[in-house]
Amino acid sequence: MAKILPQNLIISRSYKQEDAIQKLVLTAFRSKFTTKKLNEEQQLQLVHSFWQITDDDPTQKQFVALKNGEVRGTMLLRFKSTKTTKPSWNFLSQCRTFGVRNTLRIMTQLLALEHTLTDNECYIDHIAVDHTAQRQGIGKALLQRAQSEISSNERLTLYVSEKNSNAIQLYKALGFQITKQNTSLLRGLLFNEASWIFMEWRKLT
């Protein structure tokens, strides 16, 4: 059965709104990734130096939720790569531009959040909704799009902070199951959130 989207909402793969996507993600996770002594524009430039959105990488799919032509939500799906790739980070250049402490901090945070994918796994790397568009069904619509992207032999997975009860409730409502709970001292130090829940969803056969 086709999913009915909220009024005027379009979910699509898009790489033309890179700045809007990155700004939305940065704003949604500001409490986790805010760096001292950098203004919003500098923080956005720092995020861009670590994360470029591309349409030629078969291991990831970036989606946007457009409402009245504006980006109101975004989601990144990652798939297991058959090749070993290294991050394309220019550490020295980033340190000169943004400072050693800021660069090391965000690099450590990104590595702490890194998830190693297994075979037949599709991982929701991030999902974010503009704070002005909360409770309008956008997060649900993005998750349903993710569910439609996997085949019957694949599983859809994600990590969520144990503190994020609203998100956990939404995931459960869409059929996600808790498969394990982790306590990470490193994540506790970096994000003030040590307890994380791993959830997965499979298509009914």
Q: How many domains does the structure of the chain reveal?
A: 1
Taking only the tens place, the pLDDT of each residue in 43-82 is: 878 877 777 777 778 889 999 999 988 999 999 999 988 7
Q: At 110, which CATH number?
A: 3.40.630.30
Contact in structure between 129 and 75 (CB atoms under 8 Å) = no
- The pTM of this model reads 0.86
Establish if 151 belongs to a structural domain: yes
Q: Which domain holds residue 76?
A: 9-80+89-202
Establish if 46 belongs to a structural domain: yes
Long-range Cβ pairs for the range 109-116 (8 Å, 24+): 109/32, 109/33, 109/190, 109/191, 110/50, 112/184, 112/186, 112/187, 112/190, 112/191, 113/159, 113/187, 115/78, 115/159
Comparing C-alpha atoms, which of 169, 166, 193 is closest to residue 181?
Answer: 193
**Which amino acid appears at position 174 of this protein?**
L
Taking only the tens place, the pLDDT of each residue in 108-152 is: 888 888 899 999 999 999 999 999 999 999 999 999 999 999 999
More confident residue, 46 or 201: 201
